[in-house]
Amino acid sequence: MRDYTPLDEFETGDFDLEERQALRRVAGLSTELEDITEVEYRKLRLERVVLVGVWTTGTAEDADNSLLELKLLAETAGSQVLDGLVQRRQRPDPATYIGSGKALEVRDIVEASGADTVICDGELTPGQLRQLEEIVKVKVIDRTALILDIFAQHAKSREGKAQVELAQLQYLLPRLRGWGGNLSRQVGGRAAGGVGIGGRGPGETKIELDRRRIRERMAKLRRQIGGMSTARDTKRHARQSREVPAVAIAGYTNAGKSSLLNRVTGAGVLVEDALFATLDPTVRKARTPEGRLFTIADTVGFVRHLPHQLVEAFRSTLEEVADADLILHVVDGSHPDPEGQLAAVREVFADIEGALSVPEIVVVNKADAADPEVIDRIIRRERDSVVVSARTGKGIPELMRLIEEQLPRLDHEVHLLVPYERGDLISRAHAEGEVLSIDHVGEGTVLHARVLPSLSQELLRVGKPVERVS
């Protein structure tokens, strides 16, 4: 059985973390947004914010947890949260999300607190955004725009940046709007050629031109992502052709997926106590206690009401989950609502074809900080589950044994004499299979192992059954 190195001895992305923290948003810079018509055409910059939520279903505790998560999202984006409000309604107001009267109350709170942004805990329609901004007189964004902004900050790879940009453009397209003569002027005919009076004809408005450019950019990004996913598919097929089992780590954001990957493999992936700290998937090799090789992939974290634009844009990345032989579903045992985390992740699984049919182990992480009663409740509800602490290493050996049991079985047992010149097959048996015994004799190596079908066929072609060895 392998030794598990303490987490603090790993290189847990220290350089990435230092680089990320080198430049931070400066709190206290007022946007002083007098003309709210410009909000769609400037970069999202969050500073002093007021949170607003609508409680439609569930308990008051559920509503508070949702707004608390919105607070963590806002702080991850670099904001200072000044206040948070929840309104009890049967459904969000179709005009202003919270109703015109409550919108006036929010405006008073914004003026009193000096906030420059209102963040709503839901996805607002373009009409709701416009009307709410007209009332509160500051920038209004919704939960989807906030998550997209965080993804844009944290994406590092070329593929990740392209996926986030595509999701942002999908969100922005129906929300483009133009104001004043400058944004609604039409040009056409020979007007651009400077022919003057009488030469103008009907043409595109500025907003139509913007929409066309966005659609062209989206088409280009989809082609780029398609090309990048081809490379990912090639690597995946190469792993599958070697018949190495694949394990995918999935779960709620900040549940400790990257810490678990570092603990099991020593991958040195960035670890930060922040939502969506890592977006780019990482694939590493690992071995079970019996020495069997498998790959383990860290995937992007999920969250309640994950924007559908992101699910679509990150589909090629999320396919790592559907193509895996086993899913390690990591849940934060110290979270106020771990069952809600499990349900939210499985809701995203339902959007990924084939993901729900993959065997799943529920890994209850952060056991050193969790309430024992909560852990017992989860263990009783989830059939295949294990309690671990990626920080201290508690429960990791039990997790590795459970992975060993759940991986596809090596159902081809061989007992052969393999010539010394085919030592490469002996090496593959060690790397890809489970070697039960090995003995070196004059004619070659006597191998007793359980291996995958492809390796079994190669061994049978070159080896001799032990019974026939003189």
Give the annotated binding-site residues for GTP: 251-258, 276-280, 298-301, 365-368, 389-391
Q: To the nearest 10°, report the CA torsion of 142, 144, 149, 152.
A: -170
- Binding-site sequence positions for Mg(2+): 258, 278
3-state secondary structure 180-235: HHHHHCCECCCHHHCCCCCCCCCCECHHHHHHHHHHHHHHHHHHHHHHHHHHHHHH
Sequence-ordered list of residues with C-beta below 8 angstroms from that of 213, at least 6 positions apart, any chain = none
Structure tokens at 257: 């997926």
DSSP readout, 17-64?
HHHHHHS-PPTT-------GGGGGGS-----EEEEEEEE-SS-HHHHH
Residue set of the binding site = 251-258, 276-280, 298-301, 365-368, 389-391
Q: Print the SS3 string covering 51-110.
A: EEEEECCCCHHHHHHHHHHHHHHHHHCCCEEEEEEEEECCCCECCCECCHHHHHHHHHHH
Residue 213: φ, ψ to 5°:
-65, -40
**Beta-carbon count within 10 A of 95 CB:** 15
Q: Copy the structure tokens of residue 198.
A: 């009488």
Does residue 166 sit in helix, strand or coil? helix
Smallest CA-to-CA distance from 333 within 298, 300, 378 is with: 378
